[in-house]
Chains A and B, each alone.
Chain A
């Protein structure tokens, strides 16, 4: 046993998503690379990303 698959539990209320999902593989549909992009307005990090730089 490597133990890699243990030790992580979602916090009460679930994970806090920092950005909308984008470019993900979902099931067998993954082989069709038509992934969609998220929208910035719903991102918790919306104010943190500026032109590829991280703002404090």
Chain B
């Protein structure tokens, strides 16, 4: 089996399309793997931080409809329709979005926790747990104690997680991800880069992700040792 395909993903915990995109990617990877059979290499998924709204306060008194109405200047009914729309799409990939429970908050601490989890071999588990906690369970991801509890649920040391968040030990990693996104011209998420070359922006259909993985795998095999000539 060949070397694993690396997939770098920029996303935000508070991004509804990112969670949908994660599910669609996972589905696409399964489709591709079934097509490729035993030749399919492993996929190494690496998440990177991207804060969509870094100026969001830790606490917002009100639900998501109120947030949209107040900050976007749209009618509550229009906001509700928009949220219903994305809730329906989430349901199509077996995700339960509960915007009635959602607690809008700043996500920088959650990103710090994802980097802490990465340093301890639990990045994928932590990312999934945080997205579920935010969109389905209405957990408050701007609060250290809540984040530490969730860290413990994926098998991380809660004492070490608490200390990492208190000292912001991984804040520089969050900012490094965001600087890199800016340098790469990434301004929307989710954003997928396969093998450092092939890019996909947004929550693409599973078939597109499957085709992208197949394409990257095929192109890799076609490149001669030492790289392509110019």
Seen from chain A, the residues whose Cβ lies within 8 Å of a Cβ on chain B are: 1-6, 8-11, 14-19, 21-28, 30-35, 38, 43-45, 48-49, 51-54, 56
Which residues, 176 to 193 on B, are CB-close (under 8 Å) to A?
176-177, 180, 183-185, 187-191, 193
Bound Cα distance A54, B154 (Å): 34
| Given A8-B8, A18-B215, residue A49 in contact with residue B208 (CB < 8 A) | yes
Docked-complex contact B210 and A24, CB < 8 angstroms: no
Residue from A8, A16, A24, A53 within 8 A of B188 (CB atoms): A24
Docked-complex contact B31 and A4, CB < 8 angstroms: no
Residue from B47, B187, B197 within 8 A of A15 (CB atoms): B197
Docked-complex contact B203 and A22, CB < 8 angstroms: yes
Docked-complex contact B211 and A54, CB < 8 angstroms: yes
* A residues less than 8 Å from B177 (CB atoms): 4-5
Residue from B68, B123, B198, B203 within 8 A of A31 (CB atoms): B68
Q: What are 7 A-to-B residue pairs whose CB atoms are below 8 Å?
A: A5-B48, A8-B180, A11-B197, A21-B188, A33-B83, A45-B211, A52-B31
Q: Helix, strand, loop or mixed for chain B's interface?
A: helix
Docked-complex contact A27 and B116, CB < 8 angstroms: no
Seen from chain B, the residues whose Cβ lies within 8 Å of a Cβ on chain A are: 8, 12, 14-18, 20-21, 31-32, 35, 46-49, 52-53, 64, 67-68, 71-72, 74, 79, 82-83, 85-86, 89, 104, 115-116, 118-119, 123, 170, 172-174, 176-177, 180, 183-185, 187-191, 193, 196-208, 210-212, 214-215, 218
Docked-complex contact B208 and A24, CB < 8 angstroms: no
* B residues less than 8 Å from A27 (CB atoms): 52-53, 187-188
Docked-complex contact B17 and A56, CB < 8 angstroms: no
Q: Helix, strand, loop or mixed for chain A's interface?
A: loop
Bound Cα distance A22, B35 (Å): 25
* A residues less than 8 Å from B116 (CB atoms): 2
Residue from B14, B184, B212 within 8 A of A45 (CB atoms): B212
14 extra interface residue pairs, beta carbon distance < 8 Å, beyond A15-B199, A30-B17: A2-B115, A2-B116, A3-B119, A4-B115, A4-B118, A5-B49, A6-B180, A8-B184, A18-B211, A21-B188, A24-B188, A30-B12, A31-B71, A54-B207
* B residues less than 8 Å from A21 (CB atoms): 188, 201-202
Docked-complex contact A33 and B191, CB < 8 angstroms: no
* A residues less than 8 Å from B180 (CB atoms): 5-6, 8
Bound Cα distance A44, B199 (Å): 11
Kindly provide the distance from the CB of B194 to the nearest chain A CB, expressed in whole angstroms: 8
* B residues less than 8 Å from A33 (CB atoms): 16-17, 82-83, 85-86, 89
